[in-house]
Amino acid sequence: MKYRFAVLFILFSGMVFSQEKMVFTKVDSMAKMVKYRSDIKQLSYELTKNYTSQTDKARAIFIWITDNIAYDYHGYNNRKPAKSFKCKDADDCKARLAKQQQEYINKVIRKKKGICEGYARLFQMMCGYSGIECSVVSGYTKDHPSQIGRMGPLDHAWNYMIADGKPYWLDVTWAAGGCTRNDKTGKLKKFVKRFNDYYWLTPVERFSRNHFPKDTTLLASTSITKKQYKDAPYIPGNKLEYIEVIKPDSGILAVRLGDTIRFSIRNSAVNRTKKIQINTNVRHKPLSRKEAGDEYDEIGKKQLTIPFERQEDTYYFTYAADDVKARHLDILFNGGVVARFKIRVSE
């Protein structure tokens, strides 16, 4: 039930992948014209009847949901545990659970708002009506630099589907837009509708940078581990489209004073990087979440311009660990933070 990010304006990554997305222009425009008339099964049919490809069908459903369902930030702020029920046996429990989920999905589409589970279950149901194998995945997410070295909360839901014989990951909730947060109360304040194509069929190696499933068997065919996810450097949401940290391969740097840290970062953005800077915030005590957030936004106290080499879209540079009080490193390309690392410098 996760929607903790401020406002995410995330696009997609990779030139080949971007080209693949271009073919959905017609599917997208047609999906936005379809009206809901009190029948989810009929809605699914109207959205998908013109397509033979399961991927096109899923795309039409994905676009309709992101275009018509708002994030229920009031519901998130006042969320309560799901109602429990008694049942006679396993079959009865299964039937009661299915009924409860159906009622919940009906409520989401009727009110045109929901939290992550509502988005994910509606997508799953509509895919089911359209002959597409789809499941709801619960898991961990990251949306803040203070979460480097931590799993993040286990409170989000997204989808895993098999379309045209291929496995795909997608997050309808985060694709629909984002919410602002009250800094004092921590409550969500407002939903900003903004379609984020990054979370449509995101390659698993990219998706796993800020999503990790509770059921790790879903990653059995990959080399992705919980430790890699937990310790990965933090990349801001609006940079995920084109930033890839190659080295160091961990977001937690344990070095000795004077050690040289070597960085390789790929930047596939259209505009080339002309200036690279490294910012370190020096504190005697570890930063709190609020402090880390404030200083992350304000760039911080100590900023160095770093010489670099470029080979195609990959940038190579080094940094000498020169302060035992350093707690994190921010990497800036053209003045904007593209990655954060935690650092511990010993003498």
Prediction pTM value? 0.83
Q: Taking Cα atoms as reference points, which of 238, 213, 203, 267 lies closest to residue 11?
A: 238
SS3 88: coil
CATH architecture of 243-346: Sandwich (2.60)
Q: At what angle do helices 90-111 and 40-48 cross, to 10 degrees?
A: 70
Bigger pLDDT: 263 or 335?
263
What is the reported pLDDT for 301? 47
Domain ranges for the chain:
15-231, 243-346
Q: Name the band, by pLDDT with cuts 50, 70 and 90, for residue 298.
A: very low
Cβ contact 246:314 at 8 Å: yes
Given a cut of 50, is residue 152 above it in pLDDT? yes
CATH class for domain 15-231? alpha beta
Residue 327 has pLDDT above 80, yes or no: yes
User: What confidence category does residue 11 fall into, taking pLDDT thresholds of 50, 70 and 90?
Assistant: very low
The pLDDT value given to residue 302: 57
269-297: per-residue pLDDT in tens?
888 899 999 998 653 344 455 555 554 44
pLDDT at position 283: 39
Query: Do 245 and 261 contact (CB within 8 A), yes or no?
Result: no
Instruction: Specify the 3-state DSSP secondary structure of 286.
Output: coil
Question: What span, in angstroms and rounded, lies between the C-alpha atoms of 98 and 275?
Answer: 55
| Extended strands (E) in 79-196 | 113-114, 133-141, 154-163, 166-170, 177-181, 188-193
Cis preceding-peptide flag for 236 (omega within 30 of 0): no
Residue 259's pLDDT band (cuts 50, 70, 90): very high
Q: Answer yes or no: is pLDDT of 244 > 70.
A: yes
Greater pLDDT, 295 or 255: 255
